[in-house]
């Protein structure tokens, strides 16, 4: 297969972890006879520095004319403590999601047998966890009307959803549940929020089209608690943008390190694959960040191209590296910590 892949390294540790994913993908390509054409483009603070815009038009052109986007991370501390900053790197990510129509963010959470004791949660709670969040990504409070009133002394952000937006996300959730254990949880706050009531009513109306799927409706606060108590009780969870943002960070604790969790953002056409961690500026340039979340995101990309052996080969070699302790410092715990680039080299050579 010949694939054009837009490569958006972004900020902080983005370029370092992306480099490792590229090594791994190239190794896969030569093993399975694919041709990967990498098309680098600017995004985030790195793009603001060069063109004054976190998601430049040229980058968008490269993305839409590619078969997939592999993305590193976005964000820079110089913007974080400056509420008056007019342009922020994160706006680039939001604009990109919107312009590429990436309305569903698929965030799996699973445990790695060799890391089970690295999680702060007890082994018996988390063993066997295999759940996936479908987070709505282009609506809700992230994109609603916002502003200031009263001379800047009052601020508001609004959460708006249309039935269509809920339906298309829920459809992906039902389809995913059909392929897995036929269990779907709709996470909302329907006891308080009108937008949540629209979510619940829309999903309820879709149940008849998927008679085999058992749907539960749970409030987000209760899910936040049960997620770390009984993660095993969940399989596919669908939720709105902000709830999904928060719960997926929480869920990453189950796996033992945020540096492990991949994600795919999908919509009607092109997919974007990125680690769920951020730009981790303290580690930027030090060659210490864990590249596995990005590498596993690349596996999700191969899976979406229906290249299932390729995806599995990546997961297998990642598991091997964990078993053999070829890990970065976040997982080393006193044992030898490998550099980001060494982990990437090891994975590529084993493939
Ligand atoms: C994520 C991130 C982003 C989000 C930020 C960087 C805008 O936290 O992908 O989860 O909130 O969606
Ligand atoms: Mn987040």
- Give the closest ligand to the alpha carbon of residue 250: 2
Q: In this structure, which residue's CA is closest to atom 8 in ligand 1?
A: 245
pLDDT of residue 80: 81
Q: Which DSSP category does 38 fall into? A: E
Give the model confidence (pLDDT) of 56-91 as tens digits: 999 999 999 999 999 999 999 988 878 788 899 999
Q: Which of 137-141, 264-268, 327-331 is predicted most confidently?
A: 137-141
Query: The CATH number of 1-115+257-351 is which of 3.90.1150.10, 3.40.50.150, 3.40.50.720, 3.40.718.10?
Result: 3.40.718.10
Give the model confidence (pLDDT) of 4-46 as tens digits: 999 999 999 999 999 999 999 999 999 999 999 999 999 999 9
CA 322, chain centre distance (Å): 21
Ligand 1 contacts CB of residue 245 (under 6 A):
yes
The answer to whether residue 293 scores a pLDDT higher than 90 is yes
Instruction: Name the residues around ion ligand 2, CB cutoff 5 A.
Output: 245
Ligand 1 contacts CB of residue 93 (under 6 A):
yes
Confidence class for position 268, pLDDT limits 50, 70, 90: confident
User: Could you give the angle at which helices 308-323 and 340-350 cross, rounded to 10 degrees?
Assistant: 120
The residue from 142, 210, 234, 273 that is catalytic is 142
How many whole angstroms separate alpha carbon 326 and alpha carbon 173?
A: 35
The answer to whether residue 159 scores a pLDDT higher than 90 is yes
Q: In this structure, which residue's CA is closest to atom 10 in ligand 1?
A: 245
122 is catalytic: no
Domains 1-115+257-351 and 120-255 share a fold: yes
- Give the closest ligand to the alpha carbon of residue 44: 1
List the one residue out of 199, 195, 230 whose CA is nearest residue 217: 199
In the reported structure, the alpha carbon of residue 250 is separated from the centroid of ligand 2 by a whole-number distance in angstroms of: 10
- Written in H, E and C, the secondary structure of 283-311 is HCCCCCCCCHHHHHHHHHHHHHCCCHHHH
In the reported structure, the alpha carbon of residue 1 is separated from the centroid of ligand 1 by a whole-number distance in angstroms of: 32
The answer to whether residue 152 scores a pLDDT higher than 90 is yes
Domain extent listing, the chain: 1-115+257-351, 120-255
How many whole angstroms separate alpha carbon 18 and alpha carbon 344?
A: 10
How many whole angstroms separate alpha carbon 300 and alpha carbon 317?
A: 14
Give the model confidence (pLDDT) of 207-248 as tens digits: 999 999 999 999 999 999 999 999 999 999 999 999 999 999
316 is catalytic: no
How many whole angstroms separate alpha carbon 293 and alpha carbon 230?
A: 24
Give the model confidence (pLDDT) of 82-133 as tens digits: 878 889 999 999 999 999 999 999 999 999 888 888 889 999 999 999 999 9
CATH of domain 120-255: 3.40.718.10
């Amino acid at each position: 297969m010949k694939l054009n892949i837009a490569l958006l390294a972004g900020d902080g540790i983005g370029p370092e972890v992306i480099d490792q994913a590229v090594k791994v993908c190239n190794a896969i390509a030569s093993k399975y006879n694919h041709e990967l054409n990498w098309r680098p483009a600017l995004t985030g603070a790195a793009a603001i520095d060069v063109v004054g815009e976190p998601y430049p038009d040229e980058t968008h052109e490269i993305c839409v004319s590619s078969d997939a986007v592999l993305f590193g991370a976005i964000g820079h501390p110089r913007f974080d403590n400056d509420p008056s900053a007019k342009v922020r790197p994160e706006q680039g990510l939001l604009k990109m999601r919107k312009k590429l129509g990436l309305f569903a963010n698929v965030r799996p959470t699973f445990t790695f047998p060799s890391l089970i004791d690295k999680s702060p949660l007890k082994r018996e709670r988390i063993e066997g966890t295999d759940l996936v969040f479908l987070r709505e990504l282009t609506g809700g409070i992230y994109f609603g009307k916002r502003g200031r009133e009263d001379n800047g002394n009052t601020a508001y952000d609004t959460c708006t959803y249309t039935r269509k937006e809920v339906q298309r996300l829920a459809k992906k959730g039902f389809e995913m549940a059909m392929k897995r254990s036929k269990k779907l949880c709709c996470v909302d706050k329907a006891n308080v929020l009108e937008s949540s009531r629209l979510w619940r009513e829309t999903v309820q109306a879709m149940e008849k089209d998927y008679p085999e799927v058992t749907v539960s409706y749970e409030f987000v606060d209760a899910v936040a608690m049960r997620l770390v108590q009984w993660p095993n009780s969940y399989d596919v969870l669908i939720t709105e943008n902000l709830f999904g943002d928060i719960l997926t960070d929480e869920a990453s604790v189950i796996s033992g390190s945020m540096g492990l969790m991949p994600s795919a953002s999908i919509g009607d056409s092109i997919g974007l694959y990125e680690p769920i961690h951020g730009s981790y500026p303290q580690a930027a340039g030090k060659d210490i960040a864990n590249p596995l979340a990005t590498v596993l995101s690349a596996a999700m990309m191969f899976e979406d191209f229906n290249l299932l052996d390729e995806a599995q080969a990546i997961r297998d070699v990642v598991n091997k590296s964990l078993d053999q302790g070829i890990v970065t410092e976040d997982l080393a715990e006193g044992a030898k910590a490998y550099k980001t680039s060494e982990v990437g080299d090891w994975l590529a050579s084993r493939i």
